[in-house]
């Protein structure tokens, strides 16, 4: 196994989070590519794990905190680390040390770039991006928002601890309509699927639904709201990970439309 930098040859695989077999990923649209084209000029780094047969089985991407959704200085922020674990497509690459190798490569790269530390987010539940996994690799908790933990691995004693940038405004309601507000950054393919499904669902109900897009890839817009990627229906946030199905979202919106009549 070795760790390699992203090349043009593997970009399309990266845009679908290594799930080139997935029909769902085809729904994600061009948003991650658009995000990538913008952020690669702002310090985005992507590394891939490749097995002895030349198959890509894992990925990690990270960028300077100043271009992420946390408040930090002179540190990098890991957006996600992912090892393909499905039997479909390229197969299951878990339990081979890919995650550890990717994390180590990102840390060494950030050190080489002059960072004073590297941060990551993790969840307290035993699923993807587990906070406990990062703690085993020398990260410590510096902030928490609901069930999501912000962790830091310092490289120097004078590192400034990053903090979450919390919501500063809330999505509103529209009298006489169902208001759907989608905050779109583009970095996460899973959320991009949710965005496209919500947009398509909204069109099913015509003038009864108002669909608003807030483009948080624009840094000023993100700082105004303090929200990166999220979906709100009549001011209430909808859980979007894993992506709710097209049918489920349509039912939720449909119930809201019925209440208008």
Residue after which a domain boundary falls, among 115, 141, 164: 164
The per-residue pLDDT for 125 is 81
Domain that holds residue 202: 178-260
Indicate yes or no: pTM above 0.75. yes
Same domain, 26 and 121: yes
Same domain, yes or no, for 138 and 229?
no
Distances (CA, A) of 167 to 15, 171, 216, 233: 27, 10, 13, 16
In a domain, 113, yes or no: yes
Establish if 18 belongs to a structural domain: yes
HEC assignment per residue over the chain: CEEEECCHHHHHHHHCCCCCCCCHHHHHCCHHHHHHHHHHHHCCEEEEEECCCCCEEEEEEEEEHHHCCEECCCEEEEEEEEECECCCCCCECCCCCHHHHHHHHHHHHHHHCCCCEEEEEEECCCCCCEHHHHHHCCCEEEEEECCEEEEEEECCCCCCCCEECCCCCCCCCCCCCEEEEEEECCCCHHHHHHHHHHHHHHHCCHHHEEEEEEECCCHHHHHHHCCCCEEEECCEEECCCCCCCHHHHHHHHHHHHHHHC
At 122 the pLDDT is 96
Domain shared by 159 and 182, yes or no: no
Q: What is the CATH number of the domain that holds 112?
A: 3.40.630.30
> For the chain, which residues score pLDDT lower than 50?
none
pLDDT on residue 187: 96
Same domain? For 24 and 135 the reply is yes
- Are 114 and 150 in a shared domain? yes
pLDDT of residue 126: 75
188 occurs within a structural domain: yes
Q: What is the pLDDT of residue 128?
A: 83
Please indicate, yes or no, whether residues 107 and 26 belong to a single structural domain of this protein: yes
Give the pLDDT of residue 172.
87
Kindly state whether residue 54 falls inside one of the protein's structural domains: yes
Q: How many domains does the chain have?
A: 2
**140-145 and 45-50 strand pairing:** unpaired
Q: Which of 137, 164, 191 is the last residue of a domain?
A: 164
């Amino acid at each position: 196994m070795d760790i390699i930098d992203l090349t043009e040859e593997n970009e399309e695989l990266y845009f679908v989070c290594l799930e080139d077999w997935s029909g769902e990923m085809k729904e994600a649209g061009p948003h991650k590519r658009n995000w990538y084209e913008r952020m690669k000029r702002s310090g985005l780094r992507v590394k891939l794990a490749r097995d002895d047969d030349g198959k890509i089985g894992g990925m990690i991407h990270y960028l300077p905190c100043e271009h992420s959704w946390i408040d930090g200085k002179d540190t990098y922020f890991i957006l996600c680390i992912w090892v393909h674990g499905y039997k479909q497509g390229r197969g299951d690459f878990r339990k081979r040390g890919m995650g550890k190798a990717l994390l180590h490569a990102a840390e060494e790269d950030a050190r080489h770039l002059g960072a004073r530390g590297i941060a990551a987010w993790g969840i307290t539940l035993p699923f993807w991006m587990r906070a406990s996994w990062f703690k085993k690799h020398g990260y410590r908790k510096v902030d928490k928002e609901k069930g999501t933990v912000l962790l830091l691995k310092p490289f120097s004693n004078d590192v400034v601890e990053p903090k979450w940038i919390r919501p500063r405004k809330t999505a509103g309601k529209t009298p006489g309509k169902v208001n759907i507000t989608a905050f779109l950054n583009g970095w996460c393919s899973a959320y991009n699927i949710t965005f496209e499904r919500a947009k398509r669902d909204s069109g099913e109900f015509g003038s009864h639904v108002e669909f608003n897009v807030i483009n948080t890839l624009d840094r000023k817009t993100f700082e105004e709201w303090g929200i990166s990627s999220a979906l709100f229906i009549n001011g209430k946030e909808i859980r979007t990970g894993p992506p709710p199905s097209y049918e489920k979202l349509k039912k939720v919106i449909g119930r809201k439309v019925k209440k208008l009549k």
